[in-house]
Structures are given as structure tokens and as C-alpha cells.
A and B are shown apart, each in its own frame.
Chain A
Amino acid sequence: MVGALVHQLTKGVSPEVLKREGLGEYYTDHGVSVYPQSAAGVPFTAAYLQVKGDPITDLTEDLAAEQKARSTYEYLIDLADDPDVIDVLRFLRQREIVHFQRFGEALRTVQDKLAQRTFYMNNVNMNNNMQ
């Protein structure tokens, strides 16, 4: 979604203007194509994510990811001045909050399940029976 915003905002913009606006390095590496990298130019890598096969750990990772995304959208909103861009960012920020809520419910469901009868943390691994 943010890539689509960048694509629309940079369409037809001359290299001179891109350079003046701080996108000279980006233009050199990627032209005006959309490349997944951080604002500081670090390429996206799956090493940013973790999967442990433990539903408590994994759902907590998911919850953290939603909050990290929310914070990022808020910082982008701080920096943006185009009302149409801000509208999109506000919408995406709201989605992170809804997703956080739903993941939180899923975590609670798992915790309730684990609290039933005698369920030990050692049994949490999905390779064992989580039925």
C-alpha cells in the first residue's frame, strides 16, 4: 500500500526533482520502481520476522508487528503534508489497531485453551497435540 503511494507520488517526477527531494540515492539504485526497503535504505529481509512454532510466542510476535506498523504509520503521518496521503495512512493505522485486537483475542483463546485441565507449557509445540 505504501509502495502504491510512492509509485503514484513519484510518477512523472524528473530525476532533478527526485534528487532535490532526497530521493537521488533511491533513484540511482531503483529508478522509480518500488523496492521494499526501510526509510533509511536497508532492504527488507525475512530476518526481521520470527517464527518459533509456539503459539504464545508467535502470537506475541504478531501483536508486536501490528504495534510497530502503527508507530511507523504515525511517524509517516507526522512527516506527510498531502491530505490524500494522510487519509490513506490513517486508514492503514486503523487497520493495525483492528488486527492487534483480533490477534489479542486469538492469544486469549490460546491461553484459555492451555489453562484447561492439565496443560503444560512443554506441550505448546504444534508438533504435539494442540487439539
Chain B
Amino acid sequence: MMMEDRKSLLKEIMALDFKLYDLALYLDTHPFDEDVLDMYQELTEEVEEKKEKYEKMYGPLTINNAAGECEWKWIENPWPWERMV
């Protein structure tokens, strides 16, 4: 059950990051599109909230957040090519 929650939160984060990535590619060639700029800003805030929540509960999503107080947490999680059980 807990693994299901973790997976679904991770999936939400990945979906938002993917949206942002696609919008970033679009903005590279349409840098003055205000509607998309707004959308980008909103989605950034949304994903940041979710990432903070995820990292608090399950550990770091990026290596920058891997240094715990007395433990290096980067090597705790499965790598992307490993299947989460």
C-alpha cells in the first residue's frame, strides 16, 4: 500500500516534470508567449510542492538533496532502470 502511494506520487511528479520539459522546449522557440510562461510558472510551483513532500517521505529525488544529517541517502533508492517492487 505504501509502495503504491510512493509510486503514484512519483508518477505525478514525473508527469509534471515532463510537461515542464515539453513547455521549456516550446518556450525556447516562443520566448514571449505569456500564456505558456504563466503555465510554466504554475506547474513549477506545483511540482516543487510535490517533490518536497516526496523527498520528506521517501528520500532524495536528485543528488543535490542526498546529504542527510548523518547518512548519504543517494545509494538507498533503486536506480531508474531497476524495478521498484
Residues of A within 8 A of B (CB): 3-4, 7-8, 98-99, 102, 105-106, 109
Please indicate the chain A residues that have their CB under 8 angstroms from the CB of B29 in the complex.
102, 105-106, 109
A106 touches B28 (CB 8 A): yes
Residues of B within 8 A of A (CB): 22, 25-26, 28-30, 80-81, 83
Closest CB in chain A relative to B48 CB, distance in Å: 24
Measured CB to CB, the nearest residue on chain B to A108 is B29
Please indicate the chain A residues that have their CB under 8 angstroms from the CB of B25 in the complex.
98-99, 102
Please indicate the chain B residues that have their CB under 8 angstroms from the CB of A102 in the complex.
25-26, 28-29
A98 touches B81 (CB 8 A): no
A8 touches B83 (CB 8 A): yes
Closest CB in chain B relative to A97 CB, distance in Å: 12
Q: List 9 A-B contacts (CB under 8 A).
A: A3-B81, A4-B80, A98-B25, A99-B25, A102-B25, A102-B26, A102-B29, A106-B28, A106-B29
